[in-house]
Amino acid sequence: MTTLTHPTPAQSDDADKPIIIRTLRLNKFYGQGEATTYALRGVDATIYRGEFIAVLGPSGSGKSTFFNMIGALDSPSEGRVLIDEVDVAQLSASELAFLRCQKIGYIFQSYNLIRYMTALENVTVPMAFAGVKPEEARRRGMGLLKMVGLENRWSHRPIEMSGGQQQRVAIARAMCNEPKILLADEPTGNLDLKTGEDILNIMQRINKERGVTIVCATHDHRLLNICDRIMWIRDGLVERIEARHNLKITVGRIGGEA
Amino acid sequence: MKPITVKDQVRLSWGRCIGLALSGMSYRMFRSLITMSILSLAVAFLDHVLSYSVMEQNTRQSAFAQLQEFRLVGEWVTRLSGPESVPQVLATLADNNTQRLAEYQHWSNQDAASIQQAQQIARRLRDLYAFFDNLPLASRGVILGDLDPMQAVRQLQDPAALQAFSQRLSQVNVTLPLAAEEFTRLASQDQPLLWTMIEKINHGQQQAIAQIRAQTNQVGPVELLASRPAQLDEVLRQAGFQVDADLLNRLQVQASRLADLQRLKPLIEIPTVRAAMARRLRINPKEVDLPGTINWIRGQSRAQDLAADLKPYTADHPLDGPRLVFLADSQRRQEKLQAIVGDEPPTAMRGLLDLPTRTRWLVIVSFLVCAIGVINAMMMSVTERFNEIATMKCLGALDGFLLQVFFVEAIVQGLVGGLIGLALGFGLALLRGWISLGNMIFTCLPISDILIGGGVALGAGLILGAVAAIGPAWTAARLAPMEAMRVE
């Protein structure tokens, strides 16, 4: 592994923008010797503060692995992940927990709500981990539920809610400690078109109104309408990264891919 | 670029933990109930074995102690009838009963030092007899012939016999527990001292008994104790017996019972009484016997009936209803106690920590069963929640928080399950004790031992449960969240 104490941004035209996440020759493989399978093979990527980046790629391309790496949910086999220029691998368990709690919000394809908690309790759990007082957490939780339009369903358990509603609770939960980064792994993967669109709208609002950096791994091409940049991943490598305005996009379709 | 600094480590309050654990448990009510019932069964099993064994032990000991009261009179009747046998004196000497030793000192008319010396010799001889008794039959036959150890060793006072004995000993290659010269000294010098002492004691006993007879109008020991003449205390004490008023009172009660029993025996043989009893029992008059009659006497009205039959023949010394009831009840009680004690006398009072070997194994096995049950139940309930643990980690939970939550949950489940288990185990032990030992189980509950046993069972359930829950939770918490999520 190369030691890079002051890494330089990869793309010159974006050099002035503040960087929030950077990966350096990110490798992830499972197994050993002959049986080694590579999920990521040297991914170098830079994500800027406040942007909305879509990560596209077919199944098994390493999208989710990349997502887990930059979210500090899994450790890379080789290479480094820098969040706010801090190497994730250098962090202790409690610093990692702090990072996950305060700086990053996660949204999963399968919502991953805690089954036995109500919507409000689900939203307030990370605040308890952050040391927010219960009354304050309740107040903020209700505000967040209002933002996603579920203030009337705060007492419902995940099992009593539709997929779209569960995903909205998950978004509220991800936003509860006001993170700088929102990572979404196929947030609309399990949803129908209409509810999927609601989710995307909420995400767009979060990006625009709160300036939260959003990284969204997806198959959903509608995302291309709202994102700033698109990153294609194929076979564990970054195929290309394009700004949206460089692509010819018609609504609901991509014209950029030749 | 500033690195992440965690300034104030966030702590999850225990109240919040309990809240989390309770809401989780109430949601997974069915699963928690299964976990808790397995826990409670495991704890119940262990507690049952522990409390039943202390209960049984205590009851048997208590029954044995109460039986001693019945046996006491028999023992004293024997002592007042004639001198003790030689093995008996030997055994008493080897024991450490100060009262008896004082009596022996009186009868032998020796000083305390020589009694003590006799005691030492008696103990060494007792050990020697035990050694010979435990030899394999073949070598024992060669060494002792047909004699029992006491007779054989007694013969060794003769030097020639000792010589022959040593030769036989070398033939079978048996090593004595004593050095050769010690053995020689014991056989040829110490032994005669002891036998002379025992002779003196026996002689003293004979004189004492004759003296008592003379002073109490030649009455037999049973009647003597039952009637308890005013000067009895003094007479016995003068004769060298160590007695006090309390002992004589107790002896009087038992002796009069025994006297009544002895008097009832010939009365049953009288044809009219026999015919009346046969009518009552609805059996052939020939089959009427003492145990059957005593067994029939239950309650005052039956006793009054029999007393009425007996009245013409017991004019001098009436055998009335209450006496018959007392006789029958005592007899039944004695049988019941005997049934509880069984053939072997119970070992001396030992606590929970020093159980008989068989029970100890039972406890160890039930502890293992309890441990496996608890560990399995808890590990299952945690392992199936790896996903939840991973989600919590994604939300920024510290490893410590997860352990805290699972620890609290294990403790709550352990406490609820364990307490139910304790009630169940203790209840079952009581029921089993009541069935096998009768009402006596309730009167001699070893409360402190039962509490210790309960504490051990509950503690085992709690500690094992907590460890078994925290183990997998710790494993899951230390994994990267995504790795934990992949574990299914």
pLDDT at B8: 60
Q: Please indicate if any CB of chain A lies within 8 Å of the CB of B465.
A: no
pLDDT at A145: 93
Contacts of A117 in chain B (CB under 8 A): 23
Closest chain A residue to B23 measured between Cα atoms?
A116
List the single residue in A86, A101, A128 with the smallest CB-CB distance to B16.
Answer: A128
CA atoms within 13 A on the CB side of B436: 14
pLDDT at A256 over 70: no
pLDDT at B352: 61
| Contact indicator for A7, A22 with CB cutoff of 8 Å | yes
ipTM: 0.82
List the single residue in B12, B27, B483 with the smallest CB-CB distance to A74.
Answer: B483
CA atoms within 13 A on the CB side of B31: 17
pLDDT band at A175 (very low <50, low <70, confident <90, very high): very high
d(CA B238, CA B191): 30
Closest chain A residue to B15 measured between Cα atoms?
A134
Is A84 close to B4, i.e. CB distance below 8 A? yes
Averaged pLDDT of chain A:
84
The 3-state secondary structure of A195-239 reads: HHHHHHHHHHHHHHHHCCEEEEEECCHHHHHCCCEEEEEECCEEE
Closest chain B residue to A113 measured between Cα atoms?
B391
Encode pLDDT of A75-125 as tens digits. Answer: 888 899 999 888 988 888 888 888 888 889 999 888 889 888 899 999 998
In chain A, the percentage of residues whose pLDDT exceeds 90 is 30
| Contact indicator for B48, B429 with CB cutoff of 8 Å | yes
Is A100 close to B3, i.e. CB distance below 8 A? no
Structure tokens at B135: 């030899």
pLDDT at A249: 56
Is B16 close to A134, i.e. CB distance below 8 A? yes
Q: Please indicate if any CB of chain A lies within 8 Å of the CB of B480.
A: yes
pLDDT band at A250 (very low <50, low <70, confident <90, very high): low
Distance in Å, alpha carbon of B394 to nearest chain A alpha carbon = 6
Top pLDDT among A250 and B332 is at B332
pLDDT band at A213 (very low <50, low <70, confident <90, very high): very high
pLDDT at A8 over 60: no
| Long-range contacts (CB closer than 8 Å, 24 or more residues apart) made by B178-182 | B178/B124, B178/B128
For residue B226, what are the CA distances in angstroms to A222, B230, B235, B395, B484?
111, 12, 15, 88, 84
Backbone Cα Rg of chain A: 18
Is B4 close to A116, i.e. CB distance below 8 A? no
10-residue mean pLDDT series, chain B (488 residues):
57 80 82 87 87 84 84 84 85 84 84 85 87 83 81 83 83 79 83 86 87 80 80 82 83 84 81 81 80 80 79 74 82 84 69 70 82 82 83 86 86 90 92 86 82 88 86 83 74
Tell which residue, B79, B72, B80, has the closest CA to residue B216.
B80
pLDDT at B473: 84
Distance in Å, alpha carbon of B466 to nearest chain A alpha carbon = 22
For residue A193, what are the CA distances in angstroms to A189, A222, A253, B194, B353?
10, 10, 14, 110, 70
Choice among A10-24, A179-193, B187-201, B241-255 with the minimum mean pLDDT: A10-24
- Mapping DSSP to helix (H, G, I), strand (E, B) and coil, where does residue B225 land? helix
Closest chain B residue to A64 measured between Cα atoms?
B482
Distance in Å, alpha carbon of B377 to nearest chain A alpha carbon = 20
Closest chain A residue to B387 measured between Cα atoms?
A112
Top pLDDT among A22 and B239 is at A22
Structure tokens at B218: 């030649």
Residues of A engaging B, defined by a Cβ cutoff of 8 Å = 68, 71, 73-75, 84-86, 91, 93-95, 97-103, 106, 112-117, 121, 125-126, 128-131, 134, 157, 173, 177
Encode pLDDT of B317-352 as tens digits. Answer: 777 777 888 888 888 888 888 888 877 776 665 666
Phi and psi dihedrals of B310, rounded to 5?
-80, -15
Is B398 close to A97, i.e. CB distance below 8 A? yes
Is B391 close to A112, i.e. CB distance below 8 A? yes
Cα-Cα end-to-end distance for chain A: 35
d(CA B76, CA B254): 11
Q: Please indicate if any CB of chain A lies within 8 Å of the CB of B394.
A: yes
Distance in Å, alpha carbon of A258 to nearest chain B alpha carbon = 35
Is B387 close to A97, i.e. CB distance below 8 A? no
